[in-house]
Chain A
Amino acid sequence: MSRKIRVLPTLLYKDTELVKGKGFDSWRNIGSAMQSIKVFNLREVDELIFVDITATAQGRRPDFALIDDLADDCFMPLTVGGGVTSVDDVRQLLQVGADKVVLNSIIYTNPELISQVSDRFGAQCVVVSIDAKKVDDHYECFSHSGKTPTGKDPVDTAKDAEVRGAGEILITSIERDGFMEGYDIELTKLVSQAVSIPVIASGGAGSYQDMVDVLKGSKASAVAAASIYQFTQQTPLEAKKYLDAAGFPVRL
């Protein structure tokens, strides 16, 4: 009974439709959220990440009614993010059916929220999402959908989040996101070595081999991907079979 690698589809949501981006820009419409969730239900995916990417930019709270509707039909673990800025946002999201909640932009201005949420609802439901890219010779965290530089280092940010009570880190490479040319293995390695909570690799998967490569090159516990499930014939189940063949424990 070993720890099993999770394979997670990510759904990005922007004003009533699902979208995908390239390098966190040029969003394209790809169909309705509910439909995607129903498909992933049938395929028995390990877990789903759903992020409302315009909530923070528009300065609004999460769309609780929407999450309520989606969660009603989501019989798999559901992680929800976008626009979460308070303990009450988290409480409401959990109440309407989210299993875990993503904190991203808010952690740079109000890192105490991590411990407040963790103390109240438990570390297991706090996913701290870090979007980073290389600036000159070092990595830097960006907030607000990768648009606002924070001056923070992703490794320090991840360690700080762990100390404050985060249960999981979602590390996304801004430059690689949507390009389907592979994860940023170095970034994932640095972050996953620095903490002892699970780390989800995100941004850049274009093939099952990319997943194998990031798992071999880092200590990630899960691989998230968006584009490959939406724009190619590749599926989470086939990804798991590939990982299994490569010697990684997965749920089949």
Chain B
Amino acid sequence: MTAVTIIDYGMCNLDSVARAVEECGGNPTVTDKHSVIESADSIILPGVGAFPDAMKNIQERGLEDVLRKRVVDDGVPFLGICLGMQLLASKGYEVSECKGLGWIEGEIVKLEPKGEDTRIPHIGWDEVHYPKPSKLFEGIPEGKDFYFVHSFHFVPKNEEAIIGYTKYADGGVSALQKGNIHAVQFHPEKSQKVGFALLRNFLSL
């Protein structure tokens, strides 16, 4: 059973992610303890909320260095979900300009309406399309719907990192991968069968 460390930095929905990991056969631990993160087999960074608050919480708990060491240096499988994806960017513009973790180069900007009646936030089910195959989406047919709820989106500097597209308003990137670092804008823990398939793929990395 894969031991999954879910990072608690005071930004909610930890229970949902932990329960979904359990249902997918993983063994979740929700924690902000450095000692646990130090020995993590795989790490999930969930998150709902505003970018600056999230970065502040991560810094106050001294999590930035230990996460960087485990994920960037040691190469432990990592999944960022929603805000947990956005925090990987170099910079965010939610509420105020704010530096991110900078693991995947890019910026977090507000979705702007495009086309007729595209409402922001982007709330609901939307299709994920693949520019190339990836382990994370293995076995999940192209164009399946995942659950989204967000007002900001990730604009990566390098298109190579994109493994999932979901066009909505002026946004388009729904999943990124850079080596062991994976990130999704949607909520796999709330996306029922396809979401669980994705989490199982992550657990088997």
Contacts and interface: CB of A to CB of B under 8 A. Distances in A.
A196 B113 contact: yes
Contacts of B147: 47, 76-77
Contact of A197 (B95, B119, B145): B119
Contact of A95 (B15, B19, B20, B187): B15
Interface stretch (B31-39, B45-53, B67-75, B130-138): B45-53
Given A72-B19, A196-B113, A222-B124, A124 B149 contact: yes
* Chain B interface mostly: mixed
B12 A251 contact: no
Contacts of B204: none
Interface size on A, as a range, is 35 or more
Interface in A166-182: 167-168
A4 B124 contact: yes
Nearest to B145: A251
Given A1-B166, A4-B124, A198-B119, A121 B15 contact: no
A77 B187 contact: yes
Contacts of A91: 12
A75 B192 contact: yes
A80 interface: no
Contact of B117 (A6, A94, A219): A219
Given A97-B15, A121-B12, A44 B123 contact: no
Nearest to B129: A1
Contact of B121 (A75, A76, A121, A167): A167
Interface string A41-73: 000101100000000000000000000100110
Given A3-B168, A44-B193, A71-B15, A123 B20 contact: no
Contact of A168 (B15, B95, B121): B121
Interface of A: 1, 3-4, 6, 44, 46-47, 68, 71-72, 75-78, 91, 94-97, 99-100, 119-125, 167-168, 196-198, 219, 221-222, 251
Interface of B: 12-16, 19-20, 23, 48-50, 53, 83, 94-95, 113, 117-121, 123-127, 129, 145, 147, 149-151, 166-168, 187, 189-190, 192-193, 195-196
